[in-house]
Structures are given as structure tokens and as C-alpha cells.
């Protein structure tokens, strides 16, 4: 990171007291971000981007957005800054048991059907993937649901992969520590079984129990990559509330790649405001934003 000295070429654009992105810098940034991680940043997102980059500026000690962009796009800048840039541009909103009907369908319909379709004697664990897992609330919800099902069906084994492009949320996910308020969306019996309260009561934090943390393997994966290194034998994919940030060609590409990872008969769950639009994909609808691989 360069020192914070400001050259005249990088004078900040100041109006209404805030430092703004120069139009050329906004264009460069939005093109780069779209190409790298698929997130579309139309001009209407400019204020949002500026606000988030200002947070990053404070961490770097650079004086203004123009200096930041000059640094970013000069030789070697992206190598150093890419991970942080992606951390600030991603929106990581999530919660435990978000869109709860999906977890009901998983427990009551998808898992029983997947088990029924298995060859007699097969002991292969079911493979679940949370493909934009944010801080872990979604994959730990999956882990709780699978653990509960396992209490009734001891033969049920499962592994859960959880990936995201944002390293900050992945670090939080691996720790598995959350504000106690966030755990309130977990049904009480499950909260008592799978969440530990912080010993320091003033902290108002909970932590996922070690047994459940061990169930989930976290890793960084960019859904814009051509191949997803998770195998082609996934039984259940949750890819929720991320396609909305992508344009149509990117959505189609990602959906096609997800299909390539799903076993025939496997399930894909999208966010409630997402759809397959009119893409031609080997998927049949089986519930509200739930699809089965043909
Ligand atoms: C709004 S959150 C959704 C989290 C969770 N799936 C849910 O529904 O609660 C979207 C997540 O997608 C991640 N993301 C954005 N672009 C991505 C990409 N190209 N590849 C993988 N993850 C991405 C973000 O970092 C963010 O954590």
C-alpha cells in the first residue's frame, strides 16, 4: 500500500462535504467488479459504492477515492487489494433459518426422496453445498436440520460444503460466533442444542457447538469461475440471494455450472425473489424456488 501522500493528479472530487468517485473511476471499478465477481453496479449504485469504499479508505490511510483508484489500477495494486475490494462490494445479509419453508422442504421431502432413491446398501453421505454462504448462518442451519434428521434416522450421513467469495465473512463463519440476537430466528430447542452462550454474559454472543462446526467445510469460491471444485455429485445446492446481483447472462452461466455439479435427482434452492427466468436448464420446479435436476 503506498503512503498517504496526495499528488495533484489525484485531487479529490469534493462536493457536499464528501469525497466522490470520478466518473472514469466509477466506470473502471464497475467494469472490473462485474467481470471478476459478476456483481452489476449500474450508476444508481454509485453512492452505495462510494460509501463502502470510504470505509476501506479509512483502513488504508489513503487520502481520497481518486488516490485509491489510482493505486488499485496501477501495476500490482489489484494483487494487493483485490480481496479487500471484494470484501467491501459484497452484500452479506443473511440469517439463520432464512426463508424457512426451504428447510421444511429439505427435511420433509428432499432428504427422504434422496434416501429412497439410493441403491440398497449405499452408505454414501448426502452432499450439501451452500454456494454463497456469507457468515455461515445458512450452512449451519443446514447442519442443524441434517443433525435433527440424523436423530431419527441414524443411517443418515451428510457432509456440508460452504463457499463464498468474501474472505471476511468466511473467517467469521469458521469461528461460528454470532450476536445472540441473530440466533433468535433459530427454533428454541435447536438453539439450546446447537448454540453455546458466551461465558461472559455482557458479550451477548453465541457460538455454534464444535460438533456442528466440524460438519461444515468452508472455502473461498468465486461463482464466476468456469469450474467449481466441489465435485459433480452434489445432492443439494443452496444458492440463495446472490443471483439477484448478477445480470442475465451471468445468471445463466452460474445456473448451468451449478447444474453440472448436481446429481440427477438432486435439488437446487434459490432465493425467494430469484427465478430461472426462461433459461433452458435441466431442472424441473418442485416447490417455491426449489428445482430438481433432471
Ligand atoms: C446476500 S448474501 C446471501 C447469503 C445466503 N445465501 C442467504 O441467502 O442468506 C450473498 C453472498 O454472495 C456472496 N457473493 C457475491 N458474489 C459472489 C461470487 N461471485 N461468488 C461467490 N459468492 C459471491 C457475497 O459475498 C455474499 O456473502
Q: State yes or no: pLDDT of 13 exceeds 90.
A: no
C-alpha 193 – ligand 1 centre gap (Å): 27
Beta pairing, strands 18-20 & 262-270: unpaired
**Pocket of ligand 1, beta carbon within 6 A:** 37-39, 90-94, 98, 132, 134, 138, 164-166, 169, 221-224, 240-242, 271
Q: pLDDT by residue (tens digit) across 109-149? A: 999 999 999 877 777 899 999 999 999 999 999 999 999 99
- Residue 17's pLDDT is 63
Lowest-pLDDT range of 77-81, 168-172, 201-205? 201-205
* Residue that finishes a domain, picked among 33, 62, 89: 89
Asked if residue 262 belongs to a domain, the reply is: yes
> Mean pLDDT throughout 43-56?
95
Q: State yes or no: pLDDT of 12 exceeds 80.
A: no
Q: Say yes or no: 159 and 55 in one domain.
A: no
Q: Say yes or no: 82 and 176 in one domain.
A: no
What values do phi and psi take at 121, rounded to 5? Answer: 90, -10
Confidence band of 184 (pLDDT split at 50, 70, 90) = very high
> Mean pLDDT throughout 20-25?
96
- Residue 38's pLDDT is 97
Atom of ligand 1 nearest to the CA of 130: 6
> Mean pLDDT throughout 36-60?
95
Q: Say yes or no: 113 and 226 in one domain.
A: yes
Asked if residue 2 belongs to a domain, the reply is: no
- Residue 201's pLDDT is 75
**What is the number of helices (H) and of strands (E) in the chain?**
11, 12
Confidence band of 15 (pLDDT split at 50, 70, 90) = very low
Number of domain units in the chain: 2
Q: Any residues with CB less than 8 A from the CB of 109 and at least 6 apart, and which?
A: 286, 287
> Mean pLDDT throughout 83-89?
96
Q: Tell me the whole-structure pTM to 2 decimals.
A: 0.93
CATH number at residue 20: 1.10.155.10
| CA separation for the pair 18, 223 (Å, rounded) | 34
Q: Say yes or no: 142 and 256 in one domain.
A: yes
- Residue 2's pLDDT is 46
Ligand 1 pocket test, candidate residues 92, 128, 132, most atoms within 8 A of CB: 132
Q: Whose CA is nearest to atom 12 of ligand 1?
A: 132
Which residues are designated catalytic?
52, 164
What values do phi and psi take at 33, rounded to 5? Answer: -65, -40
Confidence band of 18 (pLDDT split at 50, 70, 90) = confident
Q: pLDDT by residue (tens digit) across 216-248? A: 999 999 999 999 999 999 999 999 999 999 999
- Residue 118's pLDDT is 84
Q: Domain range spanning residue 109?
A: 101-293
Ligand 1 pocket test, candidate residues 87, 88, 97, 134, most atoms within 8 A of CB: 134
Amino acid at each position: 500500500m503506498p503512503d498517504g501522500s496526495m499528488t495533484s493528479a489525484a485531487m479529490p472530487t469534493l462536493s457536499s462535504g464528501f469525497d466522490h468517485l470520478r466518473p472514469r473511476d466509477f466506470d473502471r471499478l464497475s467494469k472490473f467488479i462485474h467481470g471478476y465477481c459478476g456483481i452489476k453496479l449500474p450508476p444508481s449504485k454509485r453512492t452505495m459504492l462510494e460509501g463502502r469504499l470510504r470505509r476501506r479508505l479509512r483502513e488504508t490511510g489513503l487520502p481520497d477515492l481518486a488516490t485509491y483508484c489510482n493505486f488499485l489500477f496501477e501495476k500490482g495494486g489489484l494483487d494487493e487489494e483485490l480481496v479487500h475490494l471484494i470484501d467491501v462490494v459484497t452484500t452479506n445479509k443473511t440469517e439463520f433459518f432464512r426463508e424457512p419453508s426451504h428447510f421444511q422442504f429439505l427435511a420433509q421431502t428432499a432428504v427422504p426422496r434422496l434416501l429412497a432413491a439410493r441403491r440398497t446398501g449405499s452408505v454414501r453421505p448426502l452432499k450439501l453445498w451452500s454456494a454463497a454462504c456469507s457468515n455461515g448462518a445458512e450452512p449451519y442451519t443446514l447442519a442443524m436440520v441434517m443433525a435433527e434428521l440424523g436423530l431419527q434416522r441414524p443411517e443418515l450421513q451428510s457432509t456440508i460444503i460452504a463457499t463464498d467469495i468474501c474472505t471476511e465473512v468466511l473467517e467469521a463463519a469458521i469461528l461460528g460466533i454470532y450476536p445472540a440476537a441473530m440466533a433468535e430466528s433459530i427454533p428454541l430447542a435447536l438453539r439450546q442444542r446447537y448454540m453455546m452462550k458466551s461465558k461472559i454474559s455482557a458479550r451477548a454472543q453465541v457460538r455454534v457447538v464444535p460438533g456442528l462446526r466440524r460438519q461444515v467445510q468452508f472455502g473461498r469460491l468465486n461463482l464466476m469461475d468456469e469450474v467449481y471444485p466441489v465435485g459433480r455429485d452434489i445432492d443439494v445446492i443452496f444458492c440463495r440471494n446472490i443471483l439477484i446481483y448478477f445480470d442475465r447472462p451471468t445468471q445463466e452461466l452460474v445456473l448451468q455450472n451449478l447444474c453440472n455439479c448436481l446429481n440427477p435427482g438432486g435439488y437446487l434452492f434459490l432465493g425467494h425473489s430469484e427465478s430461472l427466468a426462461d433459461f433452458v436448464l435441466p431442472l424441473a420446479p418442485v416447490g417455491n424456488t426449489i428445482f430438481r435436476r433432471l
